[in-house]
Amino acid sequence: MTTDQAVPALAVRGLTKRFDRPAVDGLDLIVRPGEFYALLGPNGAGKTTTLRMVAGLLRPDAGSVSVLGVDALADPVGAKQIMAWVSDEPMIYDKLTPLEYLEFVAGLWGRDPAASEATARTLLASLGLAAHLDERCEGFSKGMKQKVALAGALVHDPNLIILDEPLTGLDAVSARHVKGLLQERVRDGGTVIMTTHILEVAERMADRIGVIAGGKLIAEGTLDELRQWNGENHSSLEDTFLALVDCGAVAA
Amino acid sequence: MSSTLELAWFARHEIRLAWREWLSMMTAGRKRRTRNVAIGLVVFAALMHLPAYAVVGRFADMSSDADQTALIVVTVSLFLAWALILSQAMESVTRVFYSRADLDLIISSPVMLANVFSIRMAAIALAVTAMALLLSAPFIDVLALAGGPHWLAAYGVIAAAGISAAAVAIALTVVLFRTIGPRRTRVVAQVLAVIIGAGFVIALQIAAILSTNTLSRFAVLTSDTAAAFAPGPGSVAWWPVRAALGDSVALFGLLSGSLVLLGATMAAFSSRLGDDVVAASMGMASVTARARTIRPFRVGSRPQALRRKELLLLWRDPWLISQTLMQLLYLIPPAVMLWRSFADNSAVLVLITPVVVMAAGQLAGGLAWLTISGEDAADLVATAPLRASRVTRAKIEVVLIVIGIAFAPLVLPLAVLSLPQAIVTACGVGIAAASATAIQLWFRVQAKRSQFRRRQTSSRLATFAEAFSSIGWAATAALALAIPVVAVITGLLTLAIMTATWKISPRRD
């Protein structure tokens, strides 16, 4: 995992998407390499739509997306090669075992089979799935499936990992495993962008936090910067978030 | 709430759920379609009376003192209908066992579980019987219109068939469950349903081929051998046909017998069915299949990884196993005919080609839906560094590979007997499979594989187009061997159907 520090891990400019109403409205966003970036916002704020456009799952109406210097709209295959997407609903096949699933993902990303197999086993073991390597996923709980999906996102060693509510449905132990893996990935130079409703996670893990409302980025900064937002000294991220969202709602 | 009130309340709840599920299946979940669907159903039912007349019109004048051959044909036809109803009932029971949508709520509520499951069994019987009555209505109406109102008693016979089939299906599934466990029961019950539904017709066809070298199952039923083995005129075996002809004693016997059977099943199994259903859903979670060997990750290109995944998922798909088995069962009669023709080079051999082409089109349609639309990890594949066109191509290749593997054992021996016919059959199989795949591609809607049952209601247009294209290519292949000039016309007509389908499809990039 090598990244050029001068090139943003993600550069989004004027990103726009309309359904019945504007879901994302001229959004600008820069995420630096090696950063853990948390994207917060109320329901329907446009977080998932933004990330789905970045991941190449939705075509924007306007704007540009650049992943580590690769234009994701002009060269989607090139951009996809260096990133991974994990949604809140685990994207796995019930009839495959975790190892078979990771073999498939590694094959899709064109990774060396021997190296990916070693990575796959390490990942699954670190997520507490060592005893279930050769069991089909159909009998797994949602948390176990989510861990398999996360292992799938990491097995091809992406530079940018985008996660949409990855901790939904995970118990405390599993959530700790996942958070540990993501932090390890950031320490190794990878970039993580994550949406979450659990403000404590953003507070503890994120280097920077962006708050989105009405399809626009209404605030961005480190936790301390956000606490000082609007000249007020909020005691917690929750207070800041609620104040920001109230303000965003009024502005909208 | 008293036990009676509890039963009535739960029965109303079950009927409402069953009605809404049926309505949603018919309208593909769109409320605005309800009126159109109602009109469509009435028109369809009215039109069905025409083919029904062609099939059963000749039996309208039948009376209780009819000759033995007529009694055999009608009795066997009724038994065939019962086998089909049983097959459907087994499918319904399996679904109840393995769907836990409201199970936690019901089991955690303070109601008598035996009552709840008795009602659920009765609801299965009601749904199965209602469907059977609906499907047999055109045939019975035709008989009543042409032969007299006494034929209306046939509705009672079908009701008895529905009730008894539901009772047997419940008992069979519970016994299977207790003997071979939850995971195997699911597959075995589906396979059994297919064998029961198709096996009887196929056995008759094979018997007809072996005795008279024809695919017509009626050949056996109208033979002297069948008459020689038939029981005497006073036998209980003739009760169903006598009841259908208006014999009230026989009808009462059948109806009361089937109700007693259902009651006995409910009494025997309802108290423990709750435990079984819970075990089925929980068992699926704890009893997980293990891979036989752990092998190293395989080398290959990205499309190869996709193809391997698709083939593995198809191989492990219980629906596909049962459907493929059904297709293969239907191919047994032409295979027997082929085998017979090695000794006796019969002109009837030509009949194999349309059967094979038709089967290929139908199987390809199901496979194409599973691979193209039924993608459980759509986001994963969409975010992979692979062009969408390459993904689609890999999935189409899988469909054609499976069709090739399934049909080569039939086409290759045919080449030994008649090379031109083998070439025409191979071309027909390829074109029918490609057409069915193309239709699935034009009408694809992202769905979970588990939603396969609803694929035919999500786009009726695609379903009809798929059926017409398979029939068209089957007819074209048969005519290419018999009257090539006419084959050109049917080929062009089928092409026109495909073009029209493409024109009105939500064309994809």
Distance CA(B339)–CA(B244), nearest Å, equals 40
User: Smallest CA–CA separation between B426 and chain A, in Å?
Assistant: 32
C-alpha distances in angstroms, B323 versus A148, B184, B376?
A: 30, 17, 20
Contact A151, A120 (CB under 8 A): yes
Say if residues A180 and A191 touch (Cβ distance below 8 Å). no
Which residue carries 């998932």 as its tokens?
A48
Q: How open is the CA angle B156-B157-B158, to the nearest 5 degrees?
A: 90
Helix (H, G, I), strand (E, B) or coil at B358: helix
Q: What is the pLDDT of residue B287?
A: 44
Q: Could you read off the pLDDT of B278-292 as tens digits, one per residue?
A: 666 555 544 445 555
DSSP letter at A207 equals: S
Q: What is the pLDDT of residues B470-497, one digit of tens each?
A: 989 999 998 898 888 888 999 999 999 9
- Asked whether residue B104 carries a pLDDT value surpassing 90, the answer given is no
Tens of pLDDT, residue by residue over A218-242, are 888 888 888 776 666 666 777 777 8
Beta bridge pairs of residue A194: A38, A163
Burial of A152 from C-beta contacts in 10 A (0-12 / 13-18 / 19+)? buried
Number of A–B residue contacts, CB under 8 Å:
115
* A218: Cα within 13 Å, side-chain hemisphere: 26
Query: Which contiguous run of DSSP H or E holds residue B368?
Result: helix B352-368
Q: What chain B residue is nearest to A96 in terms of C-alpha separation?
A: B313
- Give the chain A residue nearest B448 (alpha carbons): A93
Nearest 10 degrees: Cα torsion B293, B296, B300, B304 = 30
Is there a contact between B383 and A55 if contact means CB atoms under 8 Å apart?
A: yes
Task: Of B477, B497, B474, give the one whose Cα is nearest residue B487.
Answer: B477
* A172 min Cα distance to partner chain B (Å): 21
**CA separation for the pair B465, B504 (Å, rounded):** 11
Report d(CA B428, CA B312) in Å as an integer.
27
Which residue in B294, B298, B316 is closest to A113 by CB distance? Answer: B298
Residues 6+ apart with CB under 8 A from B271: B113, B114, B117
Among A93, A159, A165, most B C-beta atoms within 10 A, so best to mutate, is A93
Give the number of other CB atoms < 10 A from CB of residue B492. Answer: 12
DSSP state of B351: G
B381, closest residue in chain A (CA to CA): A108
Cα distance between residue B33 and residue B58, in whole Å: 38
Quote the minimal CA–CA distance from A131 to chain B in Å: 11
pLDDT at res. B285: 47
pLDDT at B327 over 50: yes
pLDDT(B158) > 90? yes
pLDDT of residue B455: 67
Asked whether B320 and B190 are in contact (CB, 8 A), the reply is: no
Chain B residues touching residue A83 (CB < 8 angstroms)? 383
First-to-last alpha carbon distance for chain B, in angstroms, is 59
Classify A61 as helix, strand or coil: coil
Give the range among A52-56, B68-72, B389-393 with minimum mean pLDDT.
B68-72
Low-confidence ranges of chain A (pLDDT < 70): 1-5, 229-235, 247-252
pLDDT value of position B509: 47
**Looking at the partner chain, which of B299, B379, B387 has a beta carbon nearest the beta carbon of A91?**
B379
Task: Return d(Cα A220, Cα A212) in angstroms, integer.
Answer: 9
Residue B465 exposed, middle or buried by CB count within 10 Å (0-12, 13-18, 19+): buried
More confident site: B454 or B473:
B473
Among residues B178, B10, A133, the alpha carbon closest in space to that of A147 is found at A133
Q: Which residues contact B437 (CB under 8 A, 6 or more apart)?
A: B364, B365, B367, B368, B372, B396, B399, B400
What's the mean pLDDT when you consider all of chain B? 80
Decide if B305 and A95 are in contact by the 8 Å CB cutoff.
no
- Per-residue model confidence as pLDDT tens digits over B243-279: 988 888 999 999 999 999 999 998 888 777 766 766 6
B448: which DSSP letter? -
For residue A108, give how far its alpha carbon lies from the nearest alpha carbon of chain B (Å): 5
CB atoms within 10 A of CB B1: 11
B73 neighbors B221 (Cβ within 8 angstroms)? yes
- The 10 Å CB-count burial string (b at 16+, else e) for B187-217 is bbbbebbbbbbbbbbbebbbbbbeeebbbeb
Hey, what are B496's tokens?
Answer: 């026109």
The Cα A37–Cα B37 span in angstroms is: 51
Query: Could you tell me if B363 and B400 are in contact, meaning their C-beta atoms sit under 8 angstroms apart?
Result: no
Quick one: average pLDDT of B105-127? 78
> What's the gap in Å between the CA of A106 and the closest CA on chain B?
9
Residue B75 reports pLDDT greater than 90: no
Helix/strand/coil for B455: helix
ipTM above 0.85 for this complex: no
B299 contacts in A (CB within 8 Å)? Answer: 113
Q: How many Cβ atoms sit within 10 Å of the Cβ of residue B99? A: 13
pLDDT at B281: 58
Under an 8 A CB cutoff, do B285 and A139 touch? yes
On the question of pLDDT at B32 being above 70, the answer is no
B169, pLDDT greater than 50 = yes
